[in-house]
Chains A and B, each alone.
Chain A
């Protein structure tokens, strides 16, 4: 099976990227992390588009999304993921500074798996992030990869037939 432990991290602030990687490194998970800096890149990765067209196939074990990102923000990425039958089973975690109720509500409405507010205290931050990494990338059983290639949901739609669909 393809790399089960892959973590997709969507975060625009390089300092937060570094801290998150440092935290994940506590459990040796840093090597499995793919970092994208905005929502558009995140979607490119998931749909194997753009600079990720040639990447190894397979969905990541978990997607960590910041909310405030340029171009496409975390909530929009979340919405796209959860609306796509090929992607919606990927565990998605919002990892953000915001504790705004509206962001919380929107995320859970979209079906986010977890919502974690980045702690200001570094030890707390490490705990939170590594817990996430350990849980989703090690402890949790990721959903089975779909039989067909994930070449992008849009291309798949026309070929889908009505009636019961295997997988």
Chain B
């Protein structure tokens, strides 16, 4: 409608103005208007296209900005990660450093230990060598004393033999003095024989290995008393027997020890009208030794000064006599080889009996000690491994 109004207006204006050919002018104007509208339309289209392009451009720009932001975020995250990784790396390096420090410490300590172990091995080797040397020396010594005492027996036998033969042969031609001289020689040789026999027995016993078994001490005492009968001939001896246990030990050696101990008791009570000899067991009760009797009664004995606690796997046996006793100030010599505390004229003997007993008891892992009062009597105590709990 507006277009027609416009055209009408234009025709009117044209007429007014005196335009000659108003129709063709109108048609030309209309054509121009059409072209103009066409152009306008094209321009609007172009505008729209441009606006669309602008829109698309803005869209793209927006997307690019988004992408940029995304990239920046990624970069940020990346840096964050990188930072974390660097932290982790530093932490790892710290740990590695600490580790190396510790490793060095351990290596140093290990070096130190190795040195210590080597030292100890050297020391042990040293000890082993020394022990070997000591053992070898001991064996040599024992072999020596054995062979000496063994080799001495032949000439001893000869002296004995020819002295005897001489005594028989020259009996008629010798005066009392001569006969006495010969008797003295014979006695001396006899004494020498006893010494050598004892030394032989002593060194032989030292070389022998113990053979452990259960030993009934009561039976052993009976057997030994039987063997000592000749010594007890014509003597008045009152025997008291306490409880005697079963022990673990070498029967032959224990027999020898008992022979010596009981034999001594018999010998050194010779001066008594009635000898009193006791053998039994003692137990430690409240730090004091007490006799153990079958009836269950206990008497109180003396307490050895160095012992105040009795191990439970041992048994302590005592032998007591009312004989001549000995002076306690010489007690440390009691068990010495060839040591005597009485003169040969008072009591015969070689002084090896107790040394032998001590050797035997020690070989069994036990202890032996004695107490005495001069002219009152003596008590010997010795410990042996108990039977119980052995096997």
Please give the residue numbers on chain A whose beta carbons come within 8 Å of chain B beta carbons, in ascending order: 13, 15-16, 18-19, 22, 97-98, 118-123, 125
Contacts and interface: CB of A to CB of B under 8 A. Distances in A.
A49 B158 CA distance: 32
A84 B230 CA distance: 46
Given A16-B157, A122-B157, A123-B164, 18 more contacts: A13-B154, A15-B162, A16-B158, A18-B161, A19-B157, A97-B150, A97-B154, A97-B157, A118-B153, A118-B157, A120-B153, A120-B193, A120-B197, A121-B160, A122-B160, A122-B164, A122-B165, A125-B160
Contacts of A123: 164
Nearest to A100: B150
Interface string B221-239: 0000000000000000000
Top 3 A-B pairs, shortest CB-CB distance: A122-B164, A19-B161, A122-B161
Contacts of A16: 154, 157-158
Q: How large is the interface on B (under 10, 10 to 19, 20 to 34, 35 or more residues)?
A: 10 to 19
A10 to B, nearest CB: 16
Interface in B148-193: 150, 153-154, 156-158, 160-165, 190, 193
A151 B32 CA distance: 178
Contacts of B160: 120-122, 125
Contacts of B190: 121
A19 B158 contact: yes
Interface of B: 150, 153-154, 156-158, 160-165, 190, 193, 196-197
A122 B163 contact: yes
B165 A97 contact: no
A15 B150 contact: no
A118 B153 CA distance: 9
Contacts of A15: 158, 161-162
B207 to A, nearest CB: 11
Nearest to B156: A120
10 contacts: A15-B158, A15-B162, A16-B154, A19-B157, A19-B161, A19-B165, A122-B157, A122-B160, A123-B164, A125-B161
A127 B150 CA distance: 21
A58 to B, nearest CB: 31
Nearest to A23: B161
A80 to B, nearest CB: 25
A125 B157 CA distance: 8
Given A121-B190, A121-B193, A97 B153 contact: yes
Contacts of B150: 97-98
Contacts of A125: 157, 160-161
Contacts of B154: 13, 16, 97
